[in-house]
Copies of this chain bind each other. A is one copy, B any other.
Amino acid sequence: MNKPVQQRTLKTRARLIDAANAVVAEAGFDALRVEQVVAGAGVAKGTFFAHFKDKDALMDLLIGARIDSYLDQIESAPTPRDVDDLIETLMPLLNFMTCERYVFDVILRLSGAAAVEQIGAIAMTFERHAQVVAKWLADGPFRTDVSPELLAEGVHAFSIQAMALKFCALHNSQTLTENLRPYLRAWLMPQPAS
């Protein structure tokens, strides 16, 4: 009964997102302007704000979708055999997350939601990321004295740290991979008997 209306809504929403993606492809996330998006979608400005609370909500969706597609790839990849393998598998995602300073900032900002109702796409991907990595860690040649879930959270923490260093003049002489490797080795590998 209310299907036709909803389809119209979904169509408009899709056009907005398509237009936004076109702008991003052209000029990047930081350069996206709401005005361009509505112009590209051929809708009124008011329509934009009927679909998205604000520009951040759109960004959450766009960036969240990309992270999700990277997670799809990651999930379908073979379980990493060692730390280097793990890093290599994660790299496409980490590279995307640091492709623009603006993107990294948005991700940090939106990865936590002030209220449960406001949990957005990016925050959801963080949950998923933890699950995917935990599943790996349970299988691989990694330390077993703590839960895979905790290990996965640590991978996340060190990834953030390494990504942050990429934007830091003092430490960006090393690549993201090089920064990340010692952290994850020390975190994931069983300690040699002392």
| A residues whose Cβ falls under 8 Å from a Cβ of B | 105, 108-109, 111-116, 118-119, 123, 127, 143-146, 150-151, 153-154, 156-158, 160-161, 164-165, 167-171, 182-183, 186-187, 190-194
Contact = CB atoms under 8 A, between A and B. Distances in A.
A27 to B, nearest CB: 19
A45 to B, nearest CB: 13
Contacts of A183: 150, 153-154, 157
A27 B186 CA distance: 43
Contacts of A158: 154, 157
Given A161-B156, A190-B191, A170 B109 contact: no
B150 A186 contact: yes
Given A114-B169, A153-B183, A190-B194, 4 more contacts: A105-B109, A108-B164, A145-B186, A146-B186
B112 A145 contact: no
Q: Which of A111, A186, A192, A193 has the most CB of B within 10 A?
A: A186
30 contacts: A111-B164, A112-B164, A112-B169, A113-B169, A115-B169, A116-B169, A119-B170, A123-B168, A123-B170, A127-B170, A143-B194, A144-B194, A145-B186, A145-B194, A146-B182, A146-B186, A150-B182, A150-B183, A150-B186, A151-B186, A153-B183, A154-B158, A154-B186, A157-B158, A157-B160, A157-B161, A160-B160, A160-B161, A190-B191, A193-B193
Q: Which of A105, A111, A143, A169 has the most CB of B within 10 A?
A: A169
